Each structure stands twice: as C-alpha cells, then as structure tokens.
Amino acid sequence: MYEFFYDESFHDRKISNKLSGLNIHDESKSDSYIGTFFGYSAQSKNEIEKLLNVFELKYKNLFGLSNNKELKGTTINTRFYRHGIASLSGYALSMYQDLFKLLIIQPVFVQVVIQSKTEYLVEQFLDGWIKDNINVFFQNEFSIPTFKYIFIKYLFHHRFPGILNELVNEKGFVSTSVIKMKIEEVFKSSLEITMKYERTKEQAMAIQNMLQVFGKLVMPERIIRIDYKWSYSQVFKGFNKFINVANIEKENVSLTIDVEENTYAAAEKECYGLLTQVRSDDDLRVRISDMISNFFGRIIYRLHLELKEPNVTDTNSLGLNDYSKRRHISKEWFQLTEQQYELYRDISRFLRKTSNNYWSFYGGVFFDSSMSIIGLILYIGEGYKNYSEYISISILEHSERCTNHILSGLYNQMEKLQLSIF
C-alpha cells in the first residue's frame, strides 16, 4: 500500500470580471493554481513519519508556535519571497533546507501540480473551434497543442481586456463571431508592433502563423456557455499519470486530502483504495504537502511579476509600450549568501530525483510557470561547481544568463510540443 497526501496553495479558483479587470490577472493574485501530492510506501512509513515529527517539533519551537498552531507554508511571511530564495533568511531558510534534504534522502514520492487559470478559461472556447476545424490543423505546420500554447501565452503575458472581458461577462455567454473578430484585430495589431523589434521577431512569426490558421477556421455563429467554475478532476488526471509511471495501482493508493468538498467529490470518482479528508491541523503529512506547494507557488508568483510584459488596455496602447528590451529577472534574485546558494543546490537535486517520473511537475499546455521555476533553480543549482565560482560572476550577468537559460528551456519545450498532434 502507498500513502499519499494532498494540499494546495493559491487555490482561489473564482474567475470574475470587475471594473479593475479580470481578478486572476490582478497583481495581488496568482494565475497559477498549485497543488502537491506527497507520499511513500508502507515499508517506509515509520522511518519517514519519525523524521517528519522531529522536523516539525524543531521548527515549531524555533518559530515559537504553540501546540494548537500549525507549522505550514503560510508560517513564513510573503516578504521572504520577494526575490525568491535571496529573500529567505533565518529559520525560514533553514526550514526549507531541512525539508528538501529530507525529500532528497528519503524514498518519497512528490508531484507538484501547476495549472493556469487563464488556460482553463481559454480552452473552453478553443476546444469547440478545434473540433469543428480538425482538418485545418492537419494541413498546417501548427500542432493543436502549439496553437493552444501560443494563444494562451499571448493572453497571459499581455492580458488583452477586449478578449478577456468578452470571455468573462455577467451572462456567461460568448459569441463565437465577436470573439473571432476581436482576436484577429488584436493579432493584426500585435503583428505590426512585433515586426519592429529584433527580440520579438520570433513572436511575429508565431502571430503570423496564428492569423493564417484563424483565417481558415470555419466558425458558424454560435453562443458558447463559459463555465467559470473550476474543474476539480484535472488534478487527479495528472496524479493518475504520475502513479502509473511509478507502477502504483489505484487500488493500492490511500489518499488523504485537506478538507474541501469539491476536491473530495472529484477524488471519489477515481476509485482509489482508500480516500480520506482531514483538517490540515490534524495531519502533519498534509501540512508537508502544503509547505511544498506554498514554496513553489510563491516563487512562481514572483517570477510572473518579474517577467510579465506591459499590460495592454486596447490595441492602440500596444504601440505605446516598449518591447525592444527583454524582460529579465532582477539582479536582486542572484545576490545570494552561501546558505541561500546551497538551498538552490538542494532543490536542484530534488528536481533531478523527481525527474525520473515525467509527470512530477504536472500542468496543462501552458508550461511557462513550471519551466520558469525549474530553469531558475537548475541555472543556479547546477550551473556552477561551487559558491566561489557562482559569486565570481556579477549579479547583473547572472540575471541575463538565467533569463536566457529559461527562454532556451521554453523554446526547447515548445519544439517538443510541436511534435504532438493533440
């Protein structure tokens, strides 16, 4: 039997449109829903739980938490993540060092789920168009996943209100002809702008290809119902792929989740061997899942703020924004103490260990969030032999090198996506 425990972070799933704009694109919110499955075999249970109890007792004492207070991800204030690990210090830094060392040494299973709320919203109308025009994709160089990825990426990075406001409205209904017209209008304006700059030439080619595909799509006038309610089943589809690669049968899984009725109802349909929901303050293993998801979620959120393009209010404002310079992760992220550097090294070892299972970092078609944080960690954690070599490079050069490393990873992943049919 295998025991798994699930908890989540940034789990505000509500998608709404207010005067200030789409709530999931507010700078105080995250576009990413983050969840973590943490588990181990029955044979490893006693040793791992003993170590977890020692870990928790140590940090509850250090943080001065009373017995009725939980040690979890939110124990650490958000200010400690402003520049990633470079902002972590004191007990917060040593806590994650101890946690990741434990995850490396012990025979545990960890899956991090990263889902884009923009992707969830956009796919609802894209999927219908794709089904109606499947032959168009077989006749073009674009694979269906590539088409989805570029479209979602563009909306995520630029946050075009004309399209998003149409998708998220009070009535919840969307006209296919109106949406198609607005998309083509935005892409044509974007093509004109991106052709001007050297760094956006590849974007321009992608937009040109998108316009060619859109020109061939046959879309009869249709009113589509957009569901703003979150799909709770996607998390478990990813988990099933993860345990399948690990050669674990569903009936051999005991799954414990933090109390959340919709998540529990979705898990019930999967027929695991045993399913339980508990309050996180009653189960340390669930709190460990929370710590892992909270850690990755907060750094992903900060990376989004670092790398996002200027917001677009309308097609005219595209021309007012400066796209000549590449967005870099700010140099403060790379001003590391030796202890902070060693944490990056530990997390990179953890990532290499989990990479044996392709589904260890699971998301949808839009993979920028997972690839960005993995790229950052591996650049620092594996790019240099030791701390002395790392600090021999200026933090400004680290900023440029790391951003290029992340972009290279995104490009390679997109090439793989292009080989996919669906």
pLDDT tens readout for residues 31-84: 888 999 999 999 999 999 999 999 999 999 999 999 889 999 989 988 889 999
Name which of 89, 104, 83 is nearest 340 in CA terms: 89
User: What's the mean per-residue pLDDT of the chain?
Assistant: 88
Between CA 303 and CA 25 the distance in angstroms is: 14
In a domain, 106, yes or no: yes
**Comparison of pLDDT for 187 and 288, the residue scoring more:** 288
Does a structural domain hold residue 261? Answer: yes
Interval 231-283: pLDDT, tens: 889 899 999 999 999 999 999 999 999 999 999 999 999 999 999 999 998 99
Give Cβ neighbours of residue 141 (< 8 Å, ≥ 6 apart).
209, 418
pLDDT of residue 147: 86
Q: Is residue 370 part of a domain?
A: no
Beta bridge pairs of residue 112: 36, 361
Rounded-to-integer distance, Cα 220 and Cα 236, Å: 34
Per-residue confidence (pLDDT) for residue 422, from 0 to 100 = 53
Written as one letter, the residue type at 35 is: G
Q: Are strands 253-258 and 2-9 parallel, antiparallel or unpaired?
A: parallel
Is residue 212 one of the residues assigned to a domain?
no
The reported pTM is: 0.91
- Write the pLDDT tens digit of every residue in 301-325: 999 989 887 777 666 666 666 776 7
Asked whether residue 348 is domain-assigned, the answer is: yes
Q: Which long-range contacts (CB under 8 A, 24 or more apart) does 313-322 make?
A: 313/161, 314/161, 314/162, 315/162, 315/185, 315/186, 315/189, 318/189, 318/190, 318/193, 319/193
pLDDT score recorded for residue 419: 67
Average of per-residue pLDDT across 353-361: 93
Band the pLDDT of 146: cuts 50, 70, 90: confident
Domain assignment of residue 125, yes or no = no
Of residues 318 and 377, more confidently modeled: 377
User: Is 216 part of a structural domain of the chain?
Assistant: no
Q: State how far the alpha carbon of 211 is from the alpha carbons of 102, 274, 276, in Å.
A: 50, 49, 49
Residue 49, CB-side half-sphere exposure with 13 Å CA sphere:
14
Q: 334 in a domain, yes or no?
A: yes
Q: Tell me, what CATH number does 37's domain have?
A: 3.30.420
Confidence of residue 420 (pLDDT cuts 50, 70, 90): low
DSSP β-bridge partners for residue 22: 17
40: containing domain: 2-115+230-365
H or E, element range at 41: strand 32-41
Question: Residue 376: which pLDDT band, with cuts at 50, 70 and 90?
Answer: very high
Q: What is the dihedral of CA 348, 77, 25, 331, to 10 degrees?
A: -50
How many domains would you assign to the chain? 1
| pLDDT reading at 227 higher than 90 | no
Q: 268 - beta bridge partners?
A: none
